[in-house]
Every structure is written in C-alpha cells, then in structure tokens.
Structure 1
Amino acid sequence: MARRALCIGINNYPGTDSDLSGCVNDASDWAAALTERGFTVNKLLDSAATKAAMVQAIDTLVTGALKGDTIVLTYSGHGTWLPDTDGDEPDARDEALCPWDIDSGNVLLDDELHDLFSRRAGGVRIVLISDSCHSGTVTRGDESDLDPGMPRARFLPPAVWMKRDALPADTVRPTRLSGGFTRAGGDLLLAGCLDTQFSWDTSFNGRPNGAFTFYALKTLKNLPATATYEQWFKEIRNYLPSTRLPQDPQIFGTRSARRFKVFA
C-alpha cells in the first residue's frame, strides 16, 4: 500500500497586489511531516503552481494510486469564487482555488476537483487539507505562538482577478468555499475555517505560516500513533479559533472516514 502526497503553496500572485507570505512554508512543512510518515511527496510552489501544472499533478497523483493506497493533497494559497453556471450550487457560486496564474483568469473549481478525484480506483483513500479563505467571532484559544501584528486573509475577491465586465454584483463576500470542496469527491477534508470565514496568513516565532497549518502540524507532532483524524481535529480546536485568529477549523467526511488513523 503506497502513500503519496502533493503539497501546493503559493505566496506570489502576479498582477493582483494580493501576495501572501506563509503558503510556501506551509507546503514545505506539510511535505516534511508527510515524508516522515512514509509518503512520497511532490511539491508545487509559486510559479510552478499554474492551473495546468496543478491539474496535471493531481491527475497523476489520483490515477497512479491503486487499491489500498492513501493520497494526500495539501493546498495553501488564496481561495475565491465565481458565478455557478451549471446549477449545482445552492448559493449560485462555484468555489475555487487560486493558481499562480489566476491573473489570466485561471481558477481550479470544486467541480474540476470532483472530476479529478472521481478518476481514482476503488479502495483509494483521498485526504484534502485546505488552508485557504474566509472570519468568525469566537474568542478563545492559545495565542502564545502568534507574533504581533495583524494577519492577512487568504481570500481573493473576484474583483481582483476577474474581467470587469464579467463581475457579479457581490465580489467581496466569501461564501461556502470550504463547504463546496466537501463535494470534491475525497474521503476527508480538513479546512481552515467555516464557509463564511477567512483563513489567516500570519507569522509565528518570526516565520510566516498559515494559522491552521501551524497548529495542525504543532498538534500532529504530539499525537499518539493510533490517533484518528477526529482526535487530531479536537486537538487543533484547542488553538483555533482565538481572539486574533477568528477562524473555526472544519472536518468533513463520513463517521468512518473521521475515524481513519491519521495518514495511514
């Protein structure tokens, strides 16, 4: 049973004036953690993470897996949305990840992810970890690791990248992004926040990271070998949300998927 992963991190978004700082570190940190757990890992960072490259790498990851294999996809970067055209979204919006070349109008839709994931063989386990998008109001959690200063939201409003004549009426409100990816066809989704919130790009101990990624990996180090995704998620929730990081991490999947052994 093979274990393979793809870790995507995009800080640089040319033409948008919306660069981030912690996404490449996120991808490298996920890659290191997964390598320690026996995964063969491929990374796409910044200019390497065009839409075409992302689609090709995900397709290779999925179609190359056999029954009993586990594949993990991590994404750190901006999320966005655009008007739904096929009527499958209750809020009339398609949710999307933002490749490096989004300024050319290239987005990776949840529908496209669903098509890619549907190519897997029977018995292949898919875990998607998304540290992108959206802001909440709950005030609790340990902030001792967080550096001073305001974090930046990992959400790219359509007005930043979409051609002006195609803009919908509301370009600012982030809605249902992480929820939309529950329909992408994987077994399990770990997301940085609620559908209507932002995931924050910030800094810890002088080093940029996404808040969700930082605490997910911090808690991962102390998990027992037999821990499940459900148990891991509960540990992450000890840190998020907090006063300065108002984001509620989410876990989506069946009861049995949530009880899978972490990265097994």
Structure 2
Amino acid sequence: MIAKTSKLEMASRRDIRCSWCGVQLLVPPEAQAIRCAVCQAITRVQSYDPLTQVRDSINQAATRIINMVSSTMTGPVSSYPVAPAVGTCGYGYYVQPPRPVILPLPSLHGRKRAVLCGVSYKGKSYRMKGSINDVKCMRYFLVEKLGFPSDSILMLTEDEICPLRIPTKENMRLAMRWLVQGCQPGDSLVFHFSGHGSKVPDNDKDEADGFDETLCPLDYETEGMIIDDEINDTIVRPIPKGAMLHAIIDSCYSGTILDLPFVCKMNREGYYIWEEQICSSDTYKGTSGGLALCFSACNDNQTSVDTTALSGNASTGALTYSFIQAVENEPGLTYGRLLNAMRQAIRGAKTGGLRLSGPIAALINRALFNTELTQEPQLSSSEKFDIYSKQFLL
C-alpha cells in the first residue's frame, strides 16, 4: 500500500519535462537525476533557482545533447544504478549517475547539428557492407572539414552501445525530431541516411508516380518503413526562415524521399530545369520559410550501390563517397557543380567492384556486369534557385 503524500511534500516537488520524449516528470526535491518511465532516458535535475529554471527553459532542446550525444558517457542508459521509486512520483524514478556529466551547451544561434543513420542489417541476406563506414566518414567530414561540433552529431548504427542509438524505426523518428527541435535562424542541419530504401503505393494521392518512397530502419520487417510523408512532416516543415536543412540519402528509390516541391532534372550536358512535384493545390510540402535541400543517391525508379570501386578499399555508398570527395576536392563549388561532379564520378566507375544494395542484388549485379552504373544522384529543393550561381554551404 502506498502511503499518502503530505501537502508539504507535494509543495516541495517540481514538474520538469523529460529531456528526450518531453513527458512530464514529478521530481522530489532531493533528486539529482530522474529516469523517464516511458523512454528510459535520464534527465539531470538541478537545484531549484529561478534564474536556473529560466536558463533551463531556454536551453530545453540543447540539453538533450547531454543525454543523447555525449561521448563522455561510459555506457548505455540502462547501465546506471537505479534507486527504487519514492512516494507517489509515478511518472519516473530517480537515479544517481556514477559520476557527474558536465558538458558545454552549444550556442542557441548559428548552431550546426546532424543526425547520421547507418543501417547494415547484420545477419540478414540483404546485409550492406558500407553503411556504417558511410556515417563514420560523414561524421569525420562534418567535424574535421566543415566545423560541426562533435557533440552536436547524433549517430545511429548497430555498432552503438546505447540502445537509443540503434537505428530502429522509433529511434530514427526520435532522432529526426531532435534534429529540428528548437531550430532557429542561422542553424544548419544535416540528415544523412545510408541503408535500404523502397517504395509503397501512395494512399493520399500526393505523389506524381503513385508511390511513396521509404527508408528501411533496422526493424522495418516488423515495425514498418518510414515513408516520405512522415519525413517531410518531421524535418522539412519545421525549418524556419534563415535556417537550412541538407539531407544526404544513400538508398534506393530515393529521388523524392523528402517529398520536396521541386526536383532538379539535369541531362548529361548539365542543362537543367526544376520540375514541380505538387499534385494538388491543397498539399504543401515546403518549409516554414527556411531552405531544405536533398542530395539523393538515385531517381525514384533506380537502385543505389554499396561499392569498393570508388574508394579503392573499404565498402562505401556511391553517393556518400562521391559527395564527400567532390566537396573536399573543390572548395567553394556551386550546387550545380557538386551535382555534376557526383554524377561524373559514379558514371566513371565500372561495376566490377560494385554491389547493388537490395535483396535482389546478385541478380542485378549479374545483369550489369562490366557495364556502366545507371545510378544518377538527384537534387531536390523546397524552392527553385540557380544551381550554377548558388554556392554550396553547410
């Protein structure tokens, strides 16, 4: 039987929000940290002070990095010792971390942050060899070459120890929400996915080709795929004026994976037009004033590759490798030049060392043996612009 809580005890308790899922937590005054009973994430609790509470409110989104991106944590959330619940708290139970974790919070303005998802589908017949290499290369590139703070990059791979960083459908959804949480003018956001992609029949009639494009998380066979409508709602629509989102999607059938309003249609000579993807005047697929762009591995009817032909040793996705190589080799390049450079690099690679990324890979590889790769990277955008005058910028 649970004892009744006195009015004095209730008055001394505080309400805070879980730093990961946002659920309300009732915190006893002596608690230093609390574990959410819903998502199991740990939220640190500071001593009550009005100025501190104001600061915490302003930095609510940034504090999530302490729990999710900290490289100083020595183990998964579940490794921390848990104290039994006290009183009638009910929403969660508090824990005492083995040692304090103190990290500097990133600036609220001009922030750079990224979510990098690499799914290799270990133990499956359709396992991919290059996906985890892709996100490791992308992380190094963003931090060492483009100045992204290392503690503002969230990586999801099967190699991660923390269960919240495994690329399941729910974790990928949470990571995408984290990416745009509190987004403000001056922010630069990156979403990178390397893994399988697919397509399903379009039920809401907003696709020109009649199909929704999808990403396949680790558990897609049981939990389902993430369709482009949800991706657009989650990471495109919230982008405010003055902020930018770049997506690099290294998967099959990914030409319109972000459901952006415009796709850059380019021929081999480099001439292009912007093709509108809006099927209905009632459907809005743009941002809240900011700019969203997506470099995808191929057209909606093409497959992408997992290859050693471009790097010469380790397996990587053709799009990821050609993207990083082009930006590193030519500082200050335009979006048009970047798209052309990626296409030229992939056209020049023969399929002798290439492996298509899909369950029917063996059949397709035999059909394409010693032929040029037909994969063509695509660029889509929330607005039209001159791709040969606008400088690429992350």
Compared with structure 1, are the counterparts of its residues 18 and 119 closer, same or farther at alpha carbon in structure 2 (3 Å cutoff)?
A: same
What are the within-5 Å matches in structure 2 for residues 6-21 of structure 1?
A: 6-12=115-121, 16-21=124-129
Residue of 182, 200, 203 corresponding to 1:82: 200
Report SS of the residue matched to 1:35.
helix
Compared with structure 1, are the counterparts of its residues 10 and 200 closer, same or farther at alpha carbon in structure 2 (3 Å cutoff)?
A: same
Equivalent in the alignment of 1:164: none
- Between the aligned partners of 1:4 and 1:62, the Cα distance in structure 2 is 9
Identity among equivalent positions (%) equals: 30
Q: TM-score, normalised by structure 2?
A: 0.52
Residue of 216, 234, 240 corresponding to 2:346: 240
Larger C-alpha radius of gyration, 1 or 2?
A: 2
Task: Please say if 1:193 is aligned against 2:298.
Answer: yes
Task: Check the 8 A contact 1:201/1:209 in 2, yes or no.
Answer: yes
Between 207-216 and 234-243, the greater mean CA deviation after superposition = 234-243
Deviations 1:157-182 (A, max 9, x none): xxxxxxxxxxxxxxxxxxxx422434
Task: Please say if 1:60 is aligned against 2:168.
Answer: no
Report SS of the residue matched to 1:73.
strand
Letter in 2 for 1:121: P
Residue of 209, 234, 239 corresponding to 1:116: 234
Task: Check the 8 A contact 1:70/1:263 in 2, yes or no.
Answer: no
Deviations 1:112-164 (A, max 9, x none): 01110212333221111111005xxxxxxxxxxxxxxxxxxxxxxxxxxxxxx
Task: Quote the offset at 1:71 in angstroms.
Answer: 0.4
Compared with structure 1, are the counterparts of its residues 197 and 66 closer, same or farther at alpha carbon in structure 2 (3 Å cutoff)?
A: same
Task: Quote the offset at 1:8 in angstroms.
Answer: 0.8
Compared with structure 1, are the counterparts of its residues 182 and 241 closer, same or farther at alpha carbon in structure 2 (3 Å cutoff)?
A: farther
Report SS of the residue matched to 1:18.
coil
Equivalent in the alignment of 1:228: 334
Residue of 14, 19, 35 corresponding to 2:143: 35
Report SS of the residue matched to 2:255.
helix
- Between the aligned partners of 2:292 and 2:153, the Cα distance in structure 1 is 19
Compared with structure 1, are the counterparts of its residues 13 and 116 closer, same or farther at alpha carbon in structure 2 (3 Å cutoff)?
A: farther
Report SS of the residue matched to 2:319.
helix
- Between the aligned partners of 1:80 and 1:202, the Cα distance in structure 2 is 19
Residue of 100, 103, 127 corresponding to 2:221: 103
**Where in structure 2 are there 5+ consecutive unaligned residues?**
1-109, 160-165, 261-284, 352-372
Task: Check the 8 A contact 2:229/2:259 in 1, yes or no.
Answer: no
Deviations 1:211-236 (A, max 9, x none): 12112212221112x32222222222
- Between the aligned partners of 2:297 and 2:116, the Cα distance in structure 1 is 16
Task: Please say if 1:208 is aligned against 2:338.
Answer: no
What are the within-5 Å matches in structure 2 for residues 110-189 of structure 1?
A: 110-117=228-235, 118-134=237-253, 177-183=254-260, 185=286, 187-189=292-294
- Between the aligned partners of 1:255 and 1:115, the Cα distance in structure 2 is 20
* Matched positions, count: 220
* C-alpha RMSD of matched pairs (Å): 2.1
**Where in structure 1 are there 5+ consecutive unaligned residues?**
135-176
Deviations 1:93-130 (A, max 9, x none): 21110001112132111000111021233322111111
Equivalent in the alignment of 2:385: 256
Compared with structure 1, are the counterparts of its residues 115 and 96 closer, same or farther at alpha carbon in structure 2 (3 Å cutoff)?
A: same
Deviations 1:37-76 (A, max 9, x none): 1123211113701111111111111123211211011110
Equivalent in the alignment of 1:146: none
Task: Check the 8 A contact 1:227/1:261 in 2, yes or no.
Answer: yes
Compared with structure 1, are the counterparts of its residues 260 and 65 closer, same or farther at alpha carbon in structure 2 (3 Å cutoff)?
A: farther
Report SS of the residue matched to 1:42.
strand
Compared with structure 1, are the counterparts of its residues 72 and 257 closer, same or farther at alpha carbon in structure 2 (3 Å cutoff)?
A: farther
- Between the aligned partners of 1:99 and 1:257, the Cα distance in structure 2 is 34
- Between the aligned partners of 1:111 and 1:257, the Cα distance in structure 2 is 27
